[in-house]
Amino acid sequence: MKLPFPGVWLAIFCFIPGFVISAPPFPPKTVPVLIKKSPLDAKVETLLKKMTLEEKIGQMCQFHPWRGADEKFKSQTAEGKIGSFLNVFGAKETNAFQKAAMNSRLKIPLLFGLDVIHGYKTIFPIPVAEDCTWNPDLIERSTAVAAKEAAAAGVRWTFAPMVDVSREPRWGRISEGSGEDPALGAILQPARVRGFQGKNLSDPGSIAACAKHYVGYGAAEAGREYNTTDMSEMTLRSIHLPPFKACVEAGVRTLMSAFNDLNGIPTSGNVHTIREILKGEYAFKGFVVSDWASVEQLVDHGYAADKKEAAQKGVIAGVDMDMVSNVYGDNIPALLKEKKLSMGQIDDAVRRILRVKFELGLFDKPYAEEEKESAATLTPENLATALEEAEQSIVLLKNEKNLLPLSREIKTIAVIGNLADSKRDPQGSWNCRGEESIDKVVTVLDGIKARVSKETKVLYNPGVGTSSSATDLVINEAVKTAKQAQMAIVVAGETQDMSGEAASRTTLDLPGRQEEMIKAIKASGVPVVLLLMNGRPLTIPWEAENIPAIVETWYLGTQHGTAVANVLFGDTNPSGKLVVTFPRSLGQVPIYYGQMHTGRPVDEAKPNEKWHSRYIDSPNSPQFPFGFGLSFTSYSYSNLRLSSRTLNSKGQIKVTADVKNTGAMDGFEIVQLYIQDIAASITQPVRKLVDFKRVTLRAGESQMVEFNLPASKLGFYNGIGKYVIEPGKFNVWVGKDSSDETLKDSFDLINAPAALLKK
């Protein structure tokens, strides 16, 4: 029988009625935040000693000032009852609240948090698109831009990055993360932490990052938002935790506990994940904020009988700050009195919060500089970074007979679909202050008009939109417009509110009558280029078969239209590669490249044979695999070499391959390294990404791409959550995507001292 982890026992014990006689101690393995006395610790301790209980609890409470309640919140701040606000932004506005904090007894500054997810006013591509760049340096740069713009507005804390791994395209928040792969997330997400937090958190342009939603939120059952999650310790450790661990290692200062329950324990009351893993094993010294009222929601989960018990469970689990519900403010005093919580637990939470405020330099410089705010946003440099990133985020999915790039001398071009003329949609679902800079957004239509020759006629028809009630007449009108042109650019997909939070869908098809419209335009004989604008993988089997050119543009932010036009007309060679698998049909979901073996895999030689792990009505393979993306040039891969056939658990091997640009255009290629542990004590995925390189290749140029593969990357988490490296045979691939079989070899990890291996 598998025994629950110690934290689970502790939680069970503490909450059996009649058993709670005194404050529970820190669970085993938890490292309290006061580890060693640094000058910073000393400052925190000095301040902590001066604080009343009310002031301490105040630091653990964050509020959202609902319209009209500003004065009430300001006076509570002046009384030391509030430590943080979310959704207060703007130098003038934050300063007005900060003034109240400066009027409080101890003048502890407020910390203002905001969802600066992919930009503040200069909006960058949505995260799942950004990550299709596979370019951590660029992601770090764009995130630093967002940090500077936000910091100038008094916002020194963002609720980002969202690092939830998700293999569930029905879940709308797949748009906010790094997609399906833990290793990729563990490389790209820390880049965001570095970008937001800068070299020094006290620099005026740095803001504290918040890795969210801890943990497992992306595994929502049936892809339904806020839904339950259930997984083995092995899956938790190997799929969902790695990006969080990597962010902690990168120094992320805060984490957000999630809405979901995990194996029966809600994550905002979960001793095992927060106390034991995060604050224990990972020795995380920052603080944990709840998601919106997620501690209070322990009651709705059926995990706490009332709000008081919810507060108790939240604190015991290690949720240091409550977002908006005030369950801490309302209940901690009584919980202390009844000895259901200890002062040590409260002090631990407050220390963590104060530490971050000190690190941000807020005690020395609590106010934003109002006169500098507007000059910091939407600068030409910021917009240039947004364009660079938007271009690299675009994924070319199909380009039959090199239909793209188009000539700018084209005589007449039809642009169809109201997404082409939308300024709101390209900003995605978390557009932060994008509303204020919406006039700066370049639509697809604007981008195309600006790129074609003066003689080119650009026709536009909004088409059917995403509504199912569009009439045949609307489709006929769209066809009529298309027929007047040499080429139809159809922009189809989802409106920005169809992905993101609380936007789960039960189908991944193009919404409404868009596919019917595309079919009708295609039937009219005019060549069609399909530009997809969406926040999740869509199922487009008909289009993939019948439309000659398909471009995944996602929501690219302020520079959407310029980036798209630059690709359409060949000023930019697309290089993005998918970070999520695109299924052929919803029935294949969950579908991801790193699936486990089965005892009855499909026999490649007889793919239609029964009694194998397959569907009777569809191939197993996806429409577009993870890591896939085309270019206007072509690349050939050859000459895979391993520096050795064997290594031991402390060694490493060099894996090299030659990649050649065999086409006529310069380009970037994302070269991917995968491995497979062929036989292990716990079955392993058929492939695992371990590394990648982004290489620039001029037309005709060849480059040797080299990877160092240390044995430390060959391990896995076993059934009790321990990382183990086992001897055995490994397959290795270097390729252009997760399905590329061209370059494959194998090596052995053996139990032998290094000296022996060298012979």
Structure tokens belonging to residue 258: 């999630």
Q: How many residues bind ligand BGC, per CB under 6 A?
A: 7
CB 680 within 8 Å of CB 718: no
Sheet strand arrangement including 688-697: 646-647, 743-749, 728-735, 667-677, 688-697
> CA 113 to CA 230: how far, in whole Å?
30
- 164 catalytic? Reply is no
Task: Give the shortest CB-148-to-ligand BGC separation in angstroms.
Answer: 20
Rounded to 5 degrees, φ, ψ at 492 are -135, 160
How buried is 732 (Cβ within 10 angstroms: 0-12 exposed, 13-18 middle, 19+ buried)? buried
> How many residues appear in the chain?
759
Q: What is the DSSP letter of 593?
A: T
**Beta carbon nearer to ligand BGC, 220 or 655:** 220
Contact flag: residue 159 with ligand BGC (CB under 6 A): yes
Residues 289 to 308 in contact with ligand BGC, rule: CB under 6 A: 291-292
The 3-state DSSP class for residue 273 equals helix
Selection from 373, 387, 370, 372 nearest residue 123 by Cα: 387
**Beta carbon nearer to ligand BGC, 97 or 747:** 97
**Beta carbon nearer to ligand BGC, 207 or 394:** 207
Rounded to 5 degrees, φ, ψ at 396 are -85, 115
Contact flag: residue 226 with ligand BGC (CB under 6 A): no
**Beta carbon nearer to ligand BGC, 351 or 505:** 505
Residues 588 to 607 in contact with ligand BGC, rule: CB under 6 A: none
**Beta carbon nearer to ligand BGC, 314 or 721:** 314
**Beta carbon nearer to ligand BGC, 143 or 461:** 143
Task: Give the shortest CB-112-to-ligand BGC separation in angstroms.
Answer: 12
Q: Catalytic one among 164, 181, 291, 677? A: 291
Task: Give the shortest CB-437-to-ligand BGC separation in angstroms.
Answer: 20
- Cross-strand pairs, 223: none
Task: Give the shortest CB-63-to-ligand BGC separation in angstroms.
Answer: 12
Task: Give the shortest CB-707-to-ligand BGC separation in angstroms.
Answer: 35
Amino acid identity, position 581: T
Task: Give the shortest CB-727-to-ligand BGC separation in angstroms.
Answer: 42
For residue 398, give every residue at least 6 positions away whose Cβ sits within 8 Å of its Cβ, in sequence order, or none.
Answer: 544, 547, 548, 549, 550, 630
Task: Give the shortest CB-292-to-ligand BGC separation in angstroms.
Answer: 4
Binder among 118, 192, 212, 433 for ligand BGC (CB under 6 A)? 212
Amino acid identity, position 468: S
Cα 306 from chain centre: 33
Task: Give the shortest CB-212-to-ligand BGC separation in angstroms.
Answer: 6
Amino acid identity, position 258: A
Omega before residue 625 within 30° of 0, cis: no
Task: Give the shortest CB-51-to-ligand BGC separation in angstroms.
Answer: 27
Binder among 93, 320, 494, 501 for ligand BGC (CB under 6 A)? 501
Residues 82 to 121 in contact with ligand BGC, rule: CB under 6 A: 86, 115
Amino acid identity, position 392: Q
CB atoms within 10 A of CB 354: 24
Structure tokens belonging to residue 512: 């409404």
CB atoms within 10 A of CB 71: 10
Helix 514-523 vs helix 472-483: crossing angle, to nearest 10: 40
User: What would the x/- binding string for ligand BGC be over residues 32 to 71, using CB under 6 A?
Assistant: ----------------------------------------
> CA 560 to CA 135: how far, in whole Å?
18
Residues 633 to 672 in contact with ligand BGC, rule: CB under 6 A: none
> CA 89 to CA 155: how far, in whole Å?
6
**Beta carbon nearer to ligand BGC, 149 or 691:** 149
**Beta carbon nearer to ligand BGC, 535 or 721:** 535
**How big is the CA angle at 608 (ends 602 and 609), to the nearest 5 degrees?**
70
> CA 685 to CA 750: how far, in whole Å?
20
Omega before residue 405 within 30° of 0, cis: yes
| Residue, CB closest to ligand BGC | 159
**Beta carbon nearer to ligand BGC, 88 or 532:** 88
Q: What is the DSSP letter of 371?
A: G
**Beta carbon nearer to ligand BGC, 291 or 296:** 291
Task: Give the shortest CB-115-to-ligand BGC separation in angstroms.
Answer: 5
CB 65 within 8 Å of CB 85: yes
**Beta carbon nearer to ligand BGC, 140 or 291:** 291
How buried is 599 (Cβ within 10 angstroms: 0-12 exposed, 13-18 middle, 19+ buried)? exposed
**How big is the CA angle at 475 (ends 470 and 476), to the nearest 5 degrees?**
135
Contact flag: residue 322 with ligand BGC (CB under 6 A): no
CB 308 within 8 Å of CB 335: yes
Which residue bears the tokens 């642009």? Answer: 415
By the criterion CB under 6 A, which residues form the site for ligand BGC? 86, 115, 159, 212, 291-292, 501
Looking at the annotation, which residues are catalytic? 291
